[in-house]
Chain A
Amino acid sequence: MTKVLEVNELKTHFFTRDGVVKAVDGVSFSLEKGEILGLVGESGSGKTVTGFSLLGLVDAPGQIVGGTIQLNGENLVGLPEKKLRAKRGKNIAMIFQDPIATLNPLLTIRTQMSLALEAHARMNKREIESRCIDVLTKVGIPDPAARLDSYPHEFSGGMRQRVAIAITLLHSPGVIVADEPTTALDVSIQAQILSEMRSLARETGTAMIWISHDLATVSSLATRLLVMYAGKVVEEGPTAQVLKNPRHPYTRGLIDSLPAMAKPGEPLTQISGTTPSLLSLPPGCPFAPRCDRASEVCVQDPTPETNADRMWRCHHPMQEEEAVR
């Protein structure tokens, strides 16, 4: 399989007045053609900053301070803005959570899509129109030719997100980073978009990074799962294996705290405490203060352990209940 994206020891830090916030602190992963990678974590875990870093969208006081991002073999870290711009939207694109904020309310969909197309390609009006209709059809917008001259407010929330997705598809990028793209949508609309994204990845070979706080949504889409906590990847592996047999206590806790995991009316298994402030992280494993398996050794940074295609970062991993088939 061909690797389209390879991220190695990525570090994005924010230099604030109160100190250095290590929002992303040594994240590594790779992505193959047509693969959907799920990136889960709670607020403040660094999942969104990871996504932003991939597109070079981190603003001051944030900065990528280490690591590499290889997109089709070319390192994006340290690339001048002009060269990044030439890639953004063409080779790697992003879908954001809030489609109201991503679309310009004053411009028609046609204008916005033409601008995005003309940024990377020379096309005449007719070519532009046929390409726009093409991608709008792909994301399931009924009667796309007629909707081209509509303004964003004339679309419903779900349709607006489809338009935003269509714009990212204009140049058929190799990688799409989707940051909580269905969080603001209703379940019935979310289901429509999820199943369309899945078939898109299958048909076009576009690789996707699906960032979300919702384990259930990610697990229905992603073949591989990356669990983040306080700027670090604490567990990685094939989705079904990670869910069935998590090695890191945090992953276990996340799964167990879902209401679906308990009998109705019974108390849920909860993770005690709250996510630590990134400004004053505990020494060693950041999850240790909330972890019921923690011991003295946990004040030292756990080194990542690997087995087959799985990785976890814990001194006291959960036992493997059965051999990996």
Chain B
Amino acid sequence: MSLFFQVDQVTREFHPKISLGDKIASKLGARVETRSVKAVNNVSFQLEEGQTLGLVGESGCGKSTLGKLAAGILETSEGTVLLDQKPVMKDGKKTTTRIQTVFQDPFASLDPRMKVGEAVAEGPIANNLVSKADAIAYVKDWFARVGLDPDFTDRYPHQFSGGQRQRIAIARALAMQPDLLICDEPVASLDVSIQAQIINLFLQLRKDLNLTCLFISHDLSVVRHVSDRVAVMYLGKIVEEGETSAVFENPAHPYTKALLASVPKLVLDKDELVQFEAIEGEIPSPLSPPPGCYFAPRCPYVGEKCNQTNPPLETVGFERKAACFYIPADFEKANKQA
């Protein structure tokens, strides 16, 4: 099988701005300490055509940065992102329109002074996907496909509700006829009843258009619902990756395990309240990550090796990778049974 989309050992570092005083000092030979943050730290993953990879993690884990790197709208510090073996970014510029993005906040991603029809038409016209003359019909067609009244194209963003705006954002991304759609928290700012509508729309369009997707979310239940495979990020690294239902039912990495246990669940067939377990401690600062495994200070399974070396992401089971030296025993057992 040919590799459709490949993120290969990608790292993205952010440096703080160096003050003028520090610049002069370093010119004069003084040692100036610069602390940089590796928001994404040596991450690799692959996507086959038509597949959806869910990317989960808590805030600050680098999932949005990874999304931007994959979309070719942010330059990598190291490593490459390839679509059909071709880099998505060259000399700081995006090289392809085949990747499009839907962002979290539909209030921020639409120009308030531009009619929504124009906003959707802009990209396809500029990239010669449609002629100016045909643009109106083209946009109306996309409006209908995302469940909006085609007569709404002359309206402005403020005339729409949050859910409708997210439909517009989806129409705008899809009007570019992408092969890969990157969704960064597309339903996080929506109400539950509207969230279900947008998820259904997404499932339908993905099927109709045979889209490949990278679906970024902090909401585990949403990711579980839409993804074929899932990757769990912690502090800039992927700590576990595998087939969605397998990961959710039988997590290998202690962090995945703890994360799943800490989500409040709706259990309907019990009369008493559901208990959940909390992970102890907090995410360490990415400015000074602990030596060794980043999860070690919070991990109940921590061993000697964990505080010295960072575990590599290795195959631990059928189509499963995890970065952990001491994978909890209950995982191995269940894995052998399967």
Contact = CB atoms under 8 A, between A and B. Distances in A.
A254 B279 contact: no
B199 interface: yes
Nearest to A222: B273
Contacts of B278: 188, 191-192, 194-195
Given A42-B192, A189-B282, A216-B264, A268 B199 contact: yes
Interface in B181-233: 191-197, 199-200, 203-204, 218, 220-222, 224-226
B109 to A, nearest CB: 19
B191 A195 contact: no
Contacts of A216: 263-266
B265 A220 contact: yes
* Residue among A188, A254, A255 with most chain B CB within 10 A: A188
B262 A190 contact: yes
A245 to B, nearest CB: 9
Contact of B58 (A187, A221, A239, A264): A187
B196 A269 contact: yes
A162 B197 CA distance: 35
Nearest to B59: A186
B209 to A, nearest CB: 16
A214 to B, nearest CB: 8
Interface stretch (A57-65, A121-129, A270-278, A304-312): A270-278
B245 interface: yes
Contact of A260 (B161, B218, B221, B280): B221
A260 B273 contact: no
Contact of A187 (B263, B269, B280, B282): B263
Given A188-B278, A264-B244, A264-B245, A194 B264 contact: yes
A191 B199 contact: no
B258 interface: yes
Contacts of A264: 224-226, 244-245
A275 B224 CA distance: 27
A3 B95 CA distance: 66
B79 interface: no
A265 B191 contact: no
A244 B272 CA distance: 11
A258 B264 CA distance: 13
Contact of A259 (B222, B245, B272, B273): B222
B268 A255 contact: yes
A272 B283 CA distance: 39
Contacts of B275: 220
A190 B279 CA distance: 10
A223 interface: yes
B274 interface: yes
A119 interface: no
A175 to B, nearest CB: 21
A254 B194 contact: no
Contacts of A219: 264, 266, 273-274
B210 to A, nearest CB: 15
B103 to A, nearest CB: 19
A215 B200 contact: no
A145 interface: no
B301 interface: no
* Residue among A195, A216, A223 with most chain B CB within 10 A: A216
Interface string B243-276: 0110000000000001100111110111111111
A217 interface: yes
A258 B266 CA distance: 9
A213 interface: yes
B218 A220 contact: no
Nearest to A198: B273
Interface in B103-137: none
A265 B225 CA distance: 5
Given A187-B58, A191-B277, A267 B203 contact: yes
A243 interface: yes
Interface in A218-262: 219-221, 223, 239-240, 243-244, 253-255, 257-262
Given A187-B259, A255-B266, A257-B193, 6 more contacts: A188-B262, A191-B262, A195-B276, A220-B274, A254-B192, A275-B193
Interface of A: 42-43, 156-159, 186-192, 194-195, 213-217, 219-221, 223, 239-240, 243-244, 253-255, 257-262, 264-265, 267-272, 274-275
16 contacts: A42-B191, A42-B193, A187-B218, A192-B278, A213-B192, A214-B264, A216-B265, A243-B266, A243-B268, A244-B271, A258-B196, A259-B222, A267-B204, A270-B200, A271-B197, A274-B194
Q: What 6 pairs between A and B have smallest CB-CB spacing?
A: A257-B196, A191-B262, A259-B225, A191-B278, A220-B264, A186-B58
